[in-house]
């Protein structure tokens, strides 16, 4: 079921030539529906395209931690914030393979490698290429999130066998400049176009709970849904507040978003991007299991799996296995498995 809905290499992300498929007013109206009506619509769309009880599991590994020159206001890895995350060298291929094997043994089908870079230098990319080859050799799907790509770099990743490239637009265009100033959202769109044109699958989503309005959340969903084609994988992150980051301090460490609003965001992603894998991403550790169950009902069908995201915590494997058992969920098989 985890099949991309388009043929890669034939389409570009921007700018769409046809009229946008969704307007902010339309998606804001979805957000405004009575909760039960929204759940019903999302679940109906979900069942048209997916096994409603199958959830895909990816494990993350930070292959290069900390010291990032960018200023993303949510991120514990930006060098300019004092968050206690140390700047570490890039991992060796052996370290990465050991972690991927462990993830596979625990039941993950995809392995996602993240690096705290603005973008990869060529010598870094050569190392990542070796990591991708090795992880693919274990029979896992591969994903990488390395920052902005220059001309030719997406092709190198594709040739190494990279299945997905993750690059989030994070929030709606009008709010973006309040969260990140060292790059524009158009820079992100340019990298996404390179990934798409190289023929890789796109993983692109955002973060909610950063103090945005409901209309801004609707505009984020519209920005994603109107990509042509929309991403195959859409991670919806709930802000993990990390002390020392601008957003960690903004709300005095208190969870600021009504979690039912997070569930609504998942539902709107599912309705507007019917064939995408919608990922219930960061923020699960702090999220009650009843809310996670509502996210699955709203159409989330993938998660990050394993006790760590990149630098922050995630539910451990035993807890997730118990949750799957309680909800009667099963793991989605890897493509081609």
Q: Interface with ligand SAM by CB under 6 A: which residues?
A: 74-75, 77, 114, 116-117, 145, 147, 167-168, 170, 207, 237, 239-240, 242, 282, 310
Residue 112, phi then psi, degrees to nearest 5: -115, 125
- Give the nearer residue to ligand DTB in terms of CB position, either 43 or 145: 145
Please give the span between the terminal C-alpha atoms of the chain, in angstroms, as a whole number: 11
Tokens of 176: 């973006």
> Smallest gap, in angstroms, from Cβ of residue 97 to ligand SAM?
21
How does 268-290 read in b/e, with b if 16+ C-beta sit within 10 Å? bbbbbbbbbbbbbbbbbeebeee
Q: What is the 3-state composition of the chain as percent helix, strand, coil, each rounded to the nearest 5? A: 40, 15, 45
Q: Residue numbers of the site for ligand SF4 (CB under 6 A)? A: 68, 70, 72, 75, 77-78, 116, 118, 147
Give the dihedral of Cα atoms 100, 103, 109, 110; nearest 10 deg.
-50
Contact 235, 266 (CB under 8 A): no
Q: Residue 309 interacts with ligand DTB (CB under 6 A)?
A: yes
Q: Which of 109, 168, 171, 238 binds ligand DTB (CB under 6 A)?
A: 168
Burial of 84 (0-12, 13-18, 19+ CB in 10 A): exposed
Beta-carbon contacts of residue 293 (< 8 Å; ≥ 6 apart): 327
Tokens matching residue 230 = 């929309």
Task: Respond yes or no: is residue 143 known to be catalytic.
Answer: yes
Please, are residues 264 and 35 in contact by the beta-carbon 8 Å criterion? yes
**Which of the residues 41, 57, 68, 264 is marked catalytic?**
68
**145 lies in the binding site for ligand DTB (CB under 6 A):** yes
295 assigned to active site: no
User: What mask, x for binding ligand DTB by CB under 6 A, covers residues 216 to 235?
Assistant: -------------------x
Q: Write phi, then psi, for 236 (nearest 5 degrees).
A: -110, 110
From the candidates 41, 57, 110, 112, which is the catalytic residue? 112
Least distance from C-beta 145 to ligand DTB, angstroms?
5
The one of ligand SAM, ligand DTB, ligand SF4, none whose footprint includes residue 170, by CB under 5 to 8 A per kind, is ligand SAM
Instruction: Between 56 and 238, name the residue whose CB sits nearer to ligand SAM.
Output: 238
Residue 75 vs 100, nearer CB to ligand SAM: 75
The smaller minimum CB distance to ligand SAM, of residues 96 and 282, is found at 282
Q: Map residue 275 onto helix, strand or coil.
A: coil
Output the smallest distance, CB 209 to ligand SAM, in A.
Answer: 8
Asked if 203 is an active-site residue, the reply is yes
Q: Is 72 a catalytic residue?
A: yes
Name the active-site residue from 183, 188, 194, 203: 203
Beta bridge partners of residue 78, listed in sequence order = 68
Does residue 102 have an active-site annotation? no
- Any idea what DSSP says for residue 252? T
Nearest residue (CB) to ligand DTB, 109 versus 237? 237
Cα atoms in the 13 Å half-sphere on the side-chain side of 67: 11
Taking residues 109 to 128 in sequence order and writing x for each that binds ligand DTB by CB under 6 A, - otherwise, the string is -----x--------------
Binds 311: which of ligand SAM, ligand SF4, ligand DTB, none (CB < 5-8 Å by kind): ligand DTB
**Minimum distance, C-beta of residue 242 to ligand DTB, in the bound complex (Å):** 7
Dihedral angle, C-alpha 6, 220, 189, 64, nearest 10 °: -100
Q: Does 66 bind ligand DTB (CB under 6 A)?
A: no
Is 311 a binder of ligand DTB (CB under 6 A)?
yes
Say how many CA atoms lie within 13 Å of 91 toward its Cβ.
23
Instruction: State the residues that interact with ligand DTB by CB under 6 A.
Output: 60, 76, 114, 145, 166, 168, 205, 235, 237, 240, 281-282, 309-312
The residues annotated as belonging to the active site are 68, 72, 75, 112, 143, 203, 279
């Amino acid at each position: 079921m985890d099949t991309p809905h388009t043929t890669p290499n034939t389409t570009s992300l921007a700018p769409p030539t046809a009229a946008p498929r969704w307007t902010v007013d339309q998606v804001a109206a979805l957000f405004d529906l009575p909760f039960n009506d929204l759940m019903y619509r999302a679940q109906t769309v979900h069942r048209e395209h997916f096994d409603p009880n199958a959830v895909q599991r990816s494990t993350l590994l930070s292959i290069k931690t900390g010291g990032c020159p960018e200023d993303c206001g949510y991120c514990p890895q930006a060098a300019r914030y004092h968050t206690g995350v140390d700047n570490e060298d890039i991992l060796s291929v052996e370290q990465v393979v050991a972690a991927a094997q462990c993830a596979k043994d625990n039941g993950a089908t995809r392995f996602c490698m993240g690096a705290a870079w603005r973008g990869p230098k060529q010598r870094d990319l050569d190392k990542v290429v070796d990591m991708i080859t090795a992880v693919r050799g274990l029979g896992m799907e591969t994903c990488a999130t390395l920052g902005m790509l220059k001309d030719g770099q997406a092709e190198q990743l594709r040739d190494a066998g990279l299945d997905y490239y993750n690059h989030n637009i994070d929030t709606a265009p009008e709010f973006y400049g309040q969260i990140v100033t060292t790059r524009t959202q158009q820079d992100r769109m340019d990298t996404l176009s390179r990934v798409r044109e190289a023929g890789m699958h796109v993983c692109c989503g955002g973060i909610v709970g950063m103090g945005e309005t409901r209309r801004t959340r609707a505009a984020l969903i519209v920005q994603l849904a109107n990509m042509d084609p929309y991403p195959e994988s859409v991670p919806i992150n709930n802000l993990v507040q990390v002390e020392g980051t601008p957003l960690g301090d903004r709300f005095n460490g208190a969870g600021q978003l009504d979690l039912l609003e997070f569930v609504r965001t998942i539902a709107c992603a599912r309705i507007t991007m019917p064939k995408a894998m919608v990922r219930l991403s960061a923020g699960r550790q702090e999220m009650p299991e009843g809310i996670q169950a509502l996210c699955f009902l709203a159409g989330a069908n993938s998660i990050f799996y394993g006790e760590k995201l990149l630098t922050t915590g995630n539910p451990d494997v035993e807890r997730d296995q118990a949750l799957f058992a309680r909800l009667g969920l099963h793991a989605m098989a890897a493509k081609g498995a």
